[in-house]
Chains A and B, each alone.
Chain A
């Protein structure tokens, strides 16, 4: 196990080294995404871009130098998709990802989406309708990188999109934690010291035996590990666990 972890670290350090020097950090300048690549059928990391509503009215999040939706962009997804392509048979697009709004029709070509910092998410009605249609048709969304009372905003916004559905807490026995890696203790990976991470999901018909359509890494930030995996800031085992969770999410979402 230890040997595997070291090999994985060595692999991702090598793979992600070129990214170490690019991208923004919290408090740094807001990233400016380029044009999205054209759809080609391969798995493409889709990051949801959103407006922050009133938060922006007070000078923006951290005075406009940081946009919460972009946390860990682009290093997080670039590192992650390289690992996905390397370790699994998912035909993942590397070095490219899309940044997209919930009311963008192109979103429907990417059935797995990722949203960072949903605590700051204040969608307008069009975005709510877009997300609702996306999930009801078969899309899957991952919420990550938030803690504390931000959960209540996420719950409230999701109630707008899917009024009849609710978040249900899941543990390591759920098939998503066995989709690729066997992860019996997913909560072992923690990002915020004072918060114990938990996993919450929305299912079709509120039935945990049915398809999962949204997953929230509550009080956790797995993309933080992806972002810095090439820098050695975090212990190898924790970084590995973050990648494992992400890979399981993707394999699950693409096969169920």
Chain B
């Protein structure tokens, strides 16, 4: 079909796609218009004189004659297709070959993707010879970074990371001073660098550099189970309820039972047998890991290879967990002695990784301090400076009216979340929320629940609600009350009702309800525990006034520690993501030996304001114990962020700490971990991602080809607007289709005239 179209239209479709049709008349335009009018006049005059024809026949014959004459007139206007094409041997064409681990996969069981790509782009192939005739070819290999290569041969496929955006950017920058006609990217599209692709694509589009993508591998495996992702808490506290969220991609394995195993440093810490569902392509499984000691642990999740599985390299995935020893300090400010305070204190006191400091206002201007570090802590009551308040990682506000706080303290409470990045939890009570006068205060802005209802009266009877987790809540480690989801749900359903004394408004957009409550006999749920991100931190509302009933209630067994477990978990979730003043981030957190790593350190002062004038040094401890200092520089694009790079040469776990000096003030941040190894990574999403490659090609004006059809590149890449080009004007008047239509029109007229006895 393509060949027929190319014959009729004289040029292949890719030329038509890239060209612009213009008119280049051989005569002045007015003469052509006159010729058109004359053609019309001649047609009308000649057929008006013919006798013995019906009106319809006269019209058809006239139309056929007029069509033929107008085509001739149009040819006089000389339609032309203007296309830009690369000048031979004056342009550079870059060929980027994916060299990551996923390219080592053998989709057909015999030949790897990399070998097929090498074969398709070998120097001896017609494709490369044709390209080399027209362009100066530059070969590159890319995985985590992009490196020049002499030819397509010699791929190593060791990269544990594919940074497609980095490869496009890197090649563009390296060839910035050359006439770059286009990029050919040979890859399976398994991009796992986590970088946004759009900026790289837009930069190429802005320079009109087309990207021709060549897809290697199968778009869909016949039979495969892949551990696509393992999500672990980044830096949990010691003793935390650790959940590994595992995403499995399933192909042709419905109904089979597989056992997932999690290992921490080689020791099995969880196993779970799951039945793979039908008609589902991805599923999530959760593994509850046994308690891990403080320190850095390498977590491996794997599932055994199935019979006849296409790819087995993706049956395991790795991650790192850094368990903190704590203790995390939480300030609980309470306006009235009430059981909620006592029971929460007792629950959290059982957790050695947490310290709850309670400030109880027992009378006007009279405070009881509990759990303070020394006699000076909170000696003046609630903190009046940000430095003092922001020293805590979590904050609980009990039943205490807004008027207790000064306007600046109310702002500090909101900034504790937005600026410090701490976790704030507001509890229900007769002096909380709208009843406590918080409407219109900075604190109200932070909360996940709008305080838009009229406050309830002091003497109003409490509302009794039975509490259940939502889907989002059930998936949360902080609300897990059983060995698995169904056991957890059974436990939740067995808990006695709690009471609420506040008029709670609606959930704010962007907030998430984790627990809901329902009155007996009603069907409407209202959020009981809800949370939302606000700035750098998180704000949570826990509406009941008496969660202590989950310990004391007559229906609860003496041995039942649900209340203790729940509050320990809630308190831990409150502080889990609170940043330190110096925070080290390693991007990515996993590389292959020899790959570069970006270090990012965010530095803040005691008020958690970004600091741009500190001297920041990262201290890298290699797996072998060697210590290296890397000075970091302020990344101009982001306040408070200092960055630098280093290459992880050794395999193993690196520890990366940071120190920020500013005048006499020196602050150290907790060390981050980096795993350098060659196992597992980059094969999680091993199927060819053709839609992604198509999108890159479409947006940049290139084209996508399966690897088997790569030879078609040779004819296409010459048409480019990038580099040294020449604009060619290609005549269209002599297209075979023009003569064919002309012949059909005239032939049709002749045949009709003959049938009417006129010829």
Contact = CB atoms under 8 A, between A and B. Distances in A.
B346 interface: yes
B362 A88 contact: yes
Contact of B337 (A107, A136, A254): A254
A90 B556 contact: no
Interface residues of A, number: 33
Contact of B553 (A40, A43, A108, A253): A108
Interface string B709-727: 0000000000000000000
A138 B336 contact: no
A132 B402 CA distance: 40
A88 B365 CA distance: 10
A251 interface: yes
Interface string B737-749: 0000000000000
A138 B343 contact: yes
Contacts of A256: 342, 345-346, 370
Given A90-B336, A251-B362, A254-B338, A137 B368 contact: no
A177 B288 CA distance: 45
Contacts of A38: 461
A135 to B, nearest CB: 10
A43 B462 CA distance: 14
A62 interface: no
A88 B337 contact: yes
A89 B361 contact: yes
Interface string A12-50: 000000000000000000000000001111110000000
Interface in B326-367: 335-339, 341-343, 345-346, 358, 360-364, 366
B404 to A, nearest CB: 10
Given A250-B337, A255-B370, A138 B552 contact: yes
Interface string B540-568: 00000110110111111010000000000
A136 B461 contact: no
B558 A133 contact: yes
Interface in A237-256: 250-251, 253-256
B335 A255 contact: no
B344 to A, nearest CB: 10
Contacts of B361: 89
Contacts of A138: 339, 342-343, 346, 548, 551-552
Interface string B451-469: 0000000000110000000
A256 B556 CA distance: 21
B409 interface: no
B501 A253 contact: no
A41 B345 contact: no
Contacts of B342: 111, 138, 253-256
A250 to B, nearest CB: 7
Contacts of B462: 40-41
B339 to A, nearest CB: 5
B362 A180 contact: yes
Contacts of B346: 138, 211, 256
Interface in A38-80: 38-43
Contacts of B208: none
B553 to A, nearest CB: 6
Given A40-B462, A133-B558, A255-B370, A109 B338 contact: no
Nearest to B338: A254
A137 B558 contact: yes
Contacts of A91: 336, 338, 399, 430
A137 B337 contact: no
Contacts of A108: 549, 552-554
A163 interface: no
A91 B546 CA distance: 14
Contacts, number: 95
A89 B362 contact: yes
Contact of A89 (B337, B545, B549): B337
B544 to A, nearest CB: 9
B562 to A, nearest CB: 12
B499 interface: yes
A87 interface: yes
Contact of B358 (A88, A89, A251, A255): A255
A139 B368 contact: no
A179 interface: yes
Interface residues of B, number: 36
Interface string A167-197: 0000000000001100000000000000000
A138 B342 CA distance: 9
A106 B545 CA distance: 17
Contacts of B358: 255
Given A41-B501, A87-B363, A255-B342, A139 B552 contact: yes
A139 B548 CA distance: 11
A235 interface: no
Contacts of A180: 362-363, 366, 368
Central interface residue in B337, B346, B363, by most chain A CB within 10 Å: B337
Central interface residue in B336, B462, B549, by most chain A CB within 10 Å: B336
B178 to A, nearest CB: 75
A106 B552 CA distance: 10
Contacts of A134: 552
Given A87-B363, A91-B338, A254-B337, A111 B368 contact: no
Contacts of A253: 342
A254 B339 contact: yes
B337 A251 contact: yes
Nearest to A90: B337
A38 B208 CA distance: 77
Contacts of A251: 337, 362, 368
A62 to B, nearest CB: 34
Given A111-B342, A211-B346, A89 B363 contact: yes
A133 B558 CA distance: 6
Interface string B579-620: 000000000000000000000000000000000000000000
B363 A137 contact: no
B674 to A, nearest CB: 44
A91 B346 CA distance: 21
B338 A43 contact: yes
Central interface residue in B342, B345, B399, B499, by most chain A CB within 10 Å: B342
A137 B558 CA distance: 6
Interface string B78-104: 000000000000000000000000000
A255 B552 contact: no
A127 B558 CA distance: 15
Contacts of B366: 180
Interface string B398-423: 01000000000000000000000000
Interface in B413-445: 430
A255 B546 contact: no
B546 A137 contact: no
A111 B345 contact: no
Given A90-B336, A91-B338, A137 B545 contact: no
A256 B369 CA distance: 11
B382 to A, nearest CB: 14
Interface in B304-345: 335-339, 341-343, 345
B552 A111 contact: yes
A153 B701 CA distance: 95
Nearest to B404: A89
27 contacts: A40-B462, A40-B499, A40-B501, A41-B338, A41-B462, A41-B499, A41-B546, A89-B337, A89-B361, A90-B337, A91-B336, A107-B554, A109-B552, A136-B558, A137-B556, A138-B342, A138-B551, A139-B552, A180-B363, A251-B337, A254-B339, A255-B337, A255-B345, A255-B358, A256-B342, A256-B346, A256-B370
Interface of B: 335-339, 341-343, 345-346, 358, 360-364, 366, 368, 370, 399, 430, 461-462, 499, 501, 545-546, 548-549, 551-556, 558
The 6 closest A-B pairs by CB, nearest first: A105-B554, A254-B337, A89-B336, A108-B554, A108-B552, A41-B545
Given A41-B545, A88-B337, A89-B362, 5 more contacts: A41-B430, A87-B363, A109-B549, A111-B548, A255-B368
